[in-house]
Amino acid sequence: MSTKMIHSVHRISLLSLVSLALLACHQLPTATSTAKSQPAAKHYNILYVMSDDHTASAIGAYQSRLAKLDPTPNIDKLATQGTLFKNVFATNSICTPSRASVLTGQYSQTNGVLDLNGTIPTAKQHLARLMGQAGFETAMIGKWHLREEPGAFDYYKVLPEQGLYFDPILRDKNKGSWPNNEVTIKGHSSDVVTDISINWLKNRKSDKPFFLMHHFKAPHDMFEYAPRYEDYLKGVHIPEPSSMYAQPEFGSIATRGEEDSMLWEIGTSISKRNPRRNMGIHMDIDPELSDKAYTHQAYQEYLRRYLRTVKGVDDNMGRLINYLKESGQYDNTIIIYTSDQGMMLGEHDYIDKRWMYDESMRMPFIVRHLGKKDAPKVSDVVANNTDFAPFMLELAGQTAPSFMQGKSFAAVLDNLPLVDWRKGTYYRYWMHRAHHDVPAHFGLRTKRYKLIFFYGINYDINFQQTDKVYYGMDWSRKDGVIPAKTPTPVAWELYDLEKDPDELINRYHHPDYQNIVQELKIELANQRKILNETDENYPHIQRVITEHWHD
């Protein structure tokens, strides 16, 4: 056992001491954080709150164009009392893979969850298991989206699959065996999930600290808000991103086609651009309007509905916080607020997530920990969701096992530098042209630069598009045959985030950036090898990578 671990166990029970000893053989290298960082006292509870598709730009504390609308006063107040992390990113910006990375501390190829069909069985729900071994009472309440039973938790009450916004069905550990343990609760899901968490907190019999993962369904599409928010933002103009209307230097042939020939089919849109699926269709906007009027009205209605569901999340955050205050647990609870990924809110005329562009891959991450008096108000460390499990384990006085690929950044809360921290965060979207017509791609995001490689092939060589009818829209031909999609070109994109934070100009071929491109490619290849994210098992993809690596 290391000197650091011996120093920290004097407040830890015999049970936790045994757990530490067992974990010591799996200790991560010192690159995880500085040796000086002190773990939190074991008696702190941990409340981990994760919403779905709540982009950082829809949180006032992140000071985006939407901040003046004041959509999240409770979350913003949490940020003023803790640390706001500016550069936390998903490694695969879609619901199921992101949740799998949080639970396992691993990237998609390692934990096996590449797309929405992935599962995490009880034996691989490492974060819950290790928190239990550390002496915490564990609970998972709300959106789960990992198919198999959350059996590593002491208690669960979760939405099956995507879950319903109204009168949700939930699977309750106390109501029988999975999956035949369903109950239906009247109300809006954000209110219902919060009621369940508060009731669980009230009725706990254990004197252990709690580790509660409280997961909202909102604000996932289709943005079904509680009726009480019908008048929220009514008649208010929602600020619009300029790139929604024009982005002449953005993207590449992979996202636009040769001479913009594929604009109509790559990436679902706010505007009429994608005729199969755009937000105007979802929002019932008059298709006879001019293109600009159609886009404006679709965006305004989209954002109102989206922000109304966000308002429900924020109000219920207030309810959770008020209960902790009333029960005397507020000062004794570490509160973390995040989302499973970001969301495109009209930037580049895109909707949904999946993209490696910042609005999609950036995760809000706010930590309030009153035991960390030196914690900075803002941190720009580049972290990702594989780091969440090691981070929370360190806050619980534990060391992450070596099979976790993420690293703890808890030293930031002690205002200490991170030692041997990664140069950038790796990203990969494994699906291809599914649901929202986003091409498969991977890349590297550093503090200043972003390099993206669109290789445009599904990992499953036998993949066939099966969602012929999606959200009520039949996009097959009249004879019932799904039309073949245009083969997606291969291309690279590079963005200088210091000069171009909105990612408006692809500088990949600019002569001034060729040395940067080569440096980023070296680091990208290195991380793919270290993280087991290569395409050794997908030779049809590797051939494309090899052919186009030096384009």
Q: What is the pLDDT of residues 292-338, one digit of tens each?
A: 999 999 999 999 999 999 999 999 999 999 999 999 999 999 999 99
User: Is residue 522's pLDDT more than 80?
Assistant: yes
Question: pLDDT tens-digit profile of 494-516?
Answer: 999 999 999 999 999 999 999 99
Residue 473 pLDDT level (bands cut at 50, 70, 90): very low
Per-residue pLDDT band for 463 (boundaries 50, 70, 90) equals low
- Residue 38: its pLDDT value, please? 40
198, 207, 383, 431, 481 from 46: Cα distances, Å:
14, 14, 20, 33, 51
Within-domain flag for 516: no
Residue 214 lies in a domain: yes
- The reply to whether 479 falls in a domain is no
Q: Report the Cα–Cα distance between both ends of the chain, in Å, rounded.
A: 49
Least confident span in 22-31, 105-114, 363-372, 526-535: 22-31
pLDDT value, residue 2: 41
Give a yes or no: residue 524 inside a domain.
Answer: no
How much is the pLDDT for 466?
43
pLDDT at residue 33 is higher than 60: no
For residue 333, is it within any domain? yes
CA contacts within 13 A on the Cβ side of 121: 2
Within a domain: 48: no
Query: For residue 171, how many other CB atoms are within 10 A of its CB?
Result: 21
Q: With 50 as the cut, is the pLDDT of residue 9 above it? A: no
CATH number of residue 73's parent domain: 3.40.720.10
Tell me what the mean pLDDT of segment 33-62 comes to. Answer: 78
Provide the pLDDT confidence category of residue 12 given band limits of 50, 70 and 90.
very low
Whether residue 262 lies inside any domain: the answer is: no
- Model pLDDT for residues 232-276, shown as the tens digit of each residue: 999 999 999 989 999 999 999 999 999 999 999 999 999 999 999
pLDDT given at position 537: 93
Once rounded to an integer, what is the mean pLDDT over residues 382-388?
Answer: 98
480 has pLDDT over 70: no
Read off the pTM: 0.90
The 10s digit of each residue's pLDDT in 60-101 is 999 999 999 999 999 999 999 999 999 999 999 999 999 999
Q: What pLDDT does 487 receive?
A: 84
> Which range (441-455, 462-476, 477-491, 533-547) has the least confidence?
462-476
Sorting pLDDT into bands at 50, 70 and 90, what band is 26? very low
Task: Give how many domains the chain has, as a whole number.
Answer: 1
Average pLDDT over residues 18-42: 36
**pLDDT tens, position by position, 142-193:** 999 999 999 999 999 999 999 999 999 999 999 999 999 999 999 999 999 9
Mean pLDDT over 451-476 rounds to 65
Q: What is the pLDDT of residue 483?
A: 52
Task: Using the predicted structure, report yes or no on whether residue 17 has a pLDDT greater than 60.
Answer: no
Model pLDDT, residue 484: 56
Q: What are the b/e assignments for 257-284, b being 16+ CB within 10 Å?
A: beeeebbbbbbbbbbbbbeebbbbbbbe
Instruction: Name the band, by pLDDT with cuts 50, 70 and 90, for residue 291.
Output: very high
The confidence score (pLDDT) of residue 358 equals 98
Tokens found for residue 172: 């309750």
The whole domain housing 203 covers 3-39+54-226+303-414
HSE-CB at 403 with a 13 A cutoff on CA atoms is: 10
Evaluate if residue 18 carries a pLDDT over 80: no
Spatial distance between the Cα atoms of 149 and 169, rounded to a whole number of angstroms:
15
Share of the chain above pLDDT 90, in %: 86
195 vs 199: CA distance, rounded Å: 6
Answer whether 224's CB lies under 8 Å from 166's CB: yes
Which ranges of 334-422 does DSSP label H, i.e. alpha helix?
A: 358-361, 388-395
At residue 5, the pLDDT reads 37
And the tokens for 132? 């239990």
CA nearest to 352, candidates 469, 453, 269 = 269
* pLDDT more than 70, % of the chain: 88
**Is residue 110 a part of any domain in this protein?**
yes
The answer to whether residues 427 and 89 touch, using CB atoms and an 8 Å cutoff, is yes
* Strand-pair partners of 170: 183
Closest to 445 in 3D by CA, of 419, 421, 427: 427
Q: Is 469 exposed, middle or buried (0-12, 13-18, 19+ CB in 10 A)?
A: exposed
Helix (H, G, I), strand (E, B) or coil at 452: strand
